[in-house]
Amino acid sequence: LHKAADWFRRAGEHGLPEGYAALAEMYLKGLGFTQDAAQAAQFYRLAADGGHAEASWRLGLMLLGGSGVAKDEEEAVGRYIFAAKKGFAPAQNSLGRAYEMGWGIGINFAEAARWYREAADKGFVRAKYNLGTLYLLGRGVPQDDKAAKDLFEEAADQNVIEALYGLGFAYENGR
């Protein structure tokens, strides 16, 4: 695995951000190295700064939670925005969550719904559940029990456990 890491590093040094992203994964998972979140974050930053959308999103996750880096919600959201605008569905979902929860950005349910929809339209299952919750509560979208139930069913069919609860809640309340 050390040879793989060496090649990944060299690829990154020659302008291929995927090399740094792969090296970051190795450090994050402890593949061939002692697990080291701080080292992973450094390589994700290099890959993200080279335009790698997934690395930008992963660095955002680390920044939001303070894993291997100082917690910085505003920078995390900036990383999500970069990756979301490149069409990376997990980042679109994370950006929606940031808008919904107010992490590093003001609460804006309409923007949360917009980004959840973007990710859901790409098949990102967690976003279907999140968007369904907004429809159920009428946050950022018109309250719509049928839309919520449909989204919960799609998510539940793809093993999002929380969607099972959402369906139970909807049926319990006659929705």
Instruction: Map 90-129 to HEC letters.
Output: HHHHHHHHHHHHCCCCCCCHHHHHHHHHHHHHCCCHHHHH
Look at residue 1 and tell me whether its pLDDT is greater than 90: no
Cα–Cα dist 49/149, whole Å: 40
Look at residue 173 and tell me whether its pLDDT is greater than 80: no
**Is the entire prediction scored with pTM above 0.95?**
no
Count of Cβ atoms closer than 10 Å to residue 39 Cβ? 17
Cα–Cα dist 151/165, whole Å: 13
Give the pLDDT confidence of 10-59 residue by residue, as tens digits: 999 999 999 999 999 999 999 999 999 999 999 999 999 999 999 999 99
Look at residue 70 and tell me whether its pLDDT is greater than 70: yes
Arithmetic mean of pLDDT, 125-146: 97
Residue type, 101: M
In sign, the C-alpha dihedral spanning 33, 39, 40, 45 is negative
